[in-house]
Structure 1
Amino acid sequence: MICSKSAKLPVANAQSLFMRENWGIQTFGIPALWNLSKGEGINVAVLDSGIAFNHPDFVQAISMMKDFTNSKAGVYDITGHGTHVAGIIGSRNPKVGLASEIKLLIGKIINDEGTVDIDATVDALYWAIENKANIINLSIEAKKDYLQLKQAVEEANKAGCIVVCAAGNAGPKQDSIQYPAKYKSTIAVAAIDRNFKLRVDASTGPELDLVAPGVDIYSADLPYGYTTRGGSSMAAPFVSGVIALMLAREKKNPRITTINLTDGIRECISNTAFQLGNPEEKSLYGMGLIHPQRMIV
């Protein structure tokens, strides 16, 4: 496939330090891309701790929801994690969300104590496949491999779902990428700050695909407000949002020629990402810093 290399490297805007907004939106020139795409027609499954579904940012965004944890609260988010993640991708507030016309499929896989349920995650992955998710965002971490989780992620990949995963916050030691980001069939994302430096506890290793904004990220919070959070959990949805913009753009102007959609996206990222560090430091930065303008224009 061919992706543009003509767009300039984003420049951090010092003024954004004092503005209540998702700083990555302005720093990476996302508003300029909304003339080309807002993610229309793209389904993004956020498999996380649920969502504050009454929040005004999501009332028009959610297409379906399901609780896989048997929570007394149902799909409602108790921890706020899933609400924050979903906001980065698809909030209807232009200061928060990257792709304001996507549809969200919300699967609750993190229980109300904040623990990831692997069986729930597997069930939710197949649910997302069945309901035609184009992108699946997994901002979760598991230290060990689970065969059923790997198989479900691979099935999603074969079905044409792009599975974007948080690399983890188990750094700074090397080879600390967590599951499911460690699987080859996913896109593994680590967090950088406004100065394009790795977050101090960012998980790194040979499985890392790229880095994206994941420090002091402003997004939706319980029950109707906003807050800042950080970590690869916030970097992954930034990438999911950019890919949603790209896929909607692809519908109008197809450029991906590979049979496997995830491979096509990975190729585009490789062709357009901005190199950070030395070439031999791939385990620290993967293919580099995501560059939305080069990917989409």
Structure 2
Amino acid sequence: MDYNQLQPNDPRLHWGHTQLNILTDLWQQRTVVGKGVRVGVLDSGFIPDHPDLKIFPKSQKDFTNGAAGFGSSRSHGCYCSGVIAAAGTEVFGVAPETTIAYGRVKLNSRSIAEGIEWLLTVRPAIHAISISLEIFEENENPADFQAMKDAIAKAEEKGKVVVAALGNDFAR
């Protein structure tokens, strides 16, 4: 696909970008589209066969024991994956040829640690791990929080870029 020929036409695009005409200009100047890049996304929900996302075959795992919401197109994980790698006709991410491995996790450090370990084991060729969730150390079991920190350190030792949300709570 020639991404330089695409014109953003999703009516939900951020109005500021549209008003300043920067989205189209930046899109047409881009040279990096994510070809060969693999990202593990750990988040709260996802559509396994979403038409705008390129998913590793058999690279989805649910660490929530089947809690409702895994297949919601309005889930946070679907949005975050789209920002990274959407390659649809109306919506596209910053690197649309990126391939995603997806783990649905609970909002706790133990689940995130399990997700990181799974990515490192099942998809060792990933380049980055995205964790756009919010947890607070004071609310976590100390052993579980340490397990998450250890899993992040292990990922970094293996050369993975770990990107995590900070300040995702409007009340703090």
Q: How does the TM-score come out when normalised to structure 2?
A: 0.73
Structure 1 pair 38–47 and aligned structure 2 pair: CA distance change class (3 A) = same
Task: Tell me the CA shift for residue 74 of structure 1.
Answer: 8.4
**Which of 21, 26, 31 does residue 29 from structure 1 map onto?**
26
> Which consecutive segments of 4 or more residues in structure 1 shift more than 2 A?
18-25, 72-79, 93-96
Structure 1 pair 90–78 and aligned structure 2 pair: CA distance change class (3 A) = closer
Quick check: 2:155–2:162 contact (8 Å CA) kept in 1? yes
- How many angstroms apart in 2 are the aligned matches of 1:158 and 1:31? 36
Say what the alpha-carbon RMSD is for the aligned residues.
2.9
Show the counterpart of 1:46.
41
Structure 1 pair 148–90 and aligned structure 2 pair: CA distance change class (3 A) = same
Aligned positions of 1:224-263 closer than 5 A: none
Show the counterpart of 1:144.
137
Identity of aligned residues (%): 30
User: Secondary structure at the residue paired with 1:136?
Assistant: strand
Show the counterpart of 1:99.
95
The runs of 5 or more residues in structure 1 that have no matched partner are 1-15, 111-115, 171-200, 204-297
Structure 1 pair 142–21 and aligned structure 2 pair: CA distance change class (3 A) = same
Report whether the alignment pairs 1:56 with 2:56. Answer: no
Aligned positions of 1:64-103 closer than 5 A: 64-72=59-67, 75-77=70-72, 80-93=75-88, 95-103=91-99
- How many angstroms apart in 1 are the aligned matches of 2:42 and 2:162? 11
Quick check: 2:133–2:168 contact (8 Å CA) kept in 1? no
Structure 1 pair 49–169 and aligned structure 2 pair: CA distance change class (3 A) = closer
CA-to-partner distance for each residue in 1:176-203, whole Å, 9 max, x for gaps?
xxxxxxxxxxxxxxxxxxxxxxxxx497
User: Secondary structure at the residue paired with 1:97?
Assistant: coil
Aligned positions of 1:104-119 closer than 5 A: 104-110=100-106, 116-119=107-110
User: Secondary structure at the residue paired with 1:29?
Assistant: helix
- How many angstroms apart in 1 are the aligned matches of 2:67 and 2:159? 33
Task: Tell me the CA shift for residue 73 of structure 1.
Answer: 5.1
User: Secondary structure at the residue paired with 2:137?
Assistant: coil
User: Secondary structure at the residue paired with 1:86?
Assistant: helix
Letter aligned with residue 134 of structure 2:
E
Aligned residues: 148
- How many angstroms apart in 2 are the aligned matches of 1:147 and 1:79? 31
Task: Tell me the CA shift for residue 40 of structure 1.
Answer: 0.8
- How many angstroms apart in 2 are the aligned matches of 1:47 and 1:202? 23
